Chains A and B, each alone.
Chain A
Amino acid sequence: EDKVVQSPLSLVVHEGDTVTLNCSYEVTNFRSLLWYKQEKKAPTFLFMLTSSGIEKKSGRLSSILDKKELFSILNITATQTGDSAIYLCAVVNDSWGKFQFGAGTQVVVTP
């Protein structure tokens, strides 16, 4: 059975801390892995990772994929209160784009 597991499920950090979120997967036909940020409503796209070992970066956020060990990490450095959100990992395991989502990691950044 295909599965996507995110850890931790939740965490609380202080502003300025660095956060590392983990997404591990077991799927039959891996195509790509995507990270989304969800604040109150619609998830917003962060990264899409298809190749192992190539870091994607956007400001204070970065992500990398390890296709041998079947996981990805999302790093947030110098956290701000605006980083408080649920971070969702989704794995594409079908040629046309069907997603399998993890349960998400709830991040709370306190001032």
Chain B
Amino acid sequence: DGGITQSPKYLFRKEGQNVTLSCEQNLNHDAMYWYRQDPGQGLRLIYYSQIVNDFQKGDIAEGYSVSREKKESFPLTVTSAQKNPTAFYLCASSPTGTGSYEQYFGPGTRLTVT
């Protein structure tokens, strides 16, 4: 089955701790994205990557970091510098060069920091 997996589904952390969210895809997509969703605010782009070993900051990158060492994987680290990390995090991927802009989403990780 092709798709995007995110783990864990729910994550609880204490303030001041870094935490890494996993995102894996077996769709052979070049591009991958991380979004944050807060109630009433839609999805906001954190980081994106068009190709392995390359990534760019999105609109709200402060306090987050990513890596793209493999095409299939795009983990997101929420650092202690992120002031308000409690949110729902969605990972997505898309093919490039096909003429379709559709992004495919994973099931999300709900992070709660207390």
Contacts and interface: CB of A to CB of B under 8 A. Distances in A.
A15 to B, nearest CB: 26
B2 interface: no
Given A43-B90, A48-B100, A48-B102, A98 B108 contact: no
Interface residues of A, number: 24
Interface string A22-47: 00000000011010100001111100
Contacts of B48: 98
Task: State the majority secondary structure of interface residues on A.
Answer: strand
Contacts of B108: 41-42
A100 to B, nearest CB: 8
A41 B107 contact: yes
Contacts of A104: 42
B101 A48 contact: yes
Contacts of A97: 31, 94, 96, 101, 103
Interface residues of B, number: 24
B60 interface: no
Contacts of B96: 96-97
A28 to B, nearest CB: 14
B41 A103 contact: yes
A36 B100 CA distance: 14
Contact of B42 (A32, A92, A103): A103
A82 B16 CA distance: 41
A32 B101 contact: yes
Nearest to B33: A99
Interface of A: 4, 6, 9, 31-32, 34, 36, 41-45, 48, 88, 90, 92, 96-99, 101-104
30 contacts: A4-B42, A9-B40, A31-B101, A32-B101, A34-B101, A34-B102, A36-B105, A42-B105, A44-B105, A45-B102, A48-B101, A48-B102, A88-B43, A92-B101, A96-B31, A96-B50, A97-B31, A97-B94, A97-B101, A98-B48, A99-B33, A99-B103, A101-B35, A101-B42, A101-B43, A101-B44, A103-B40, A103-B41, A103-B42, A104-B42
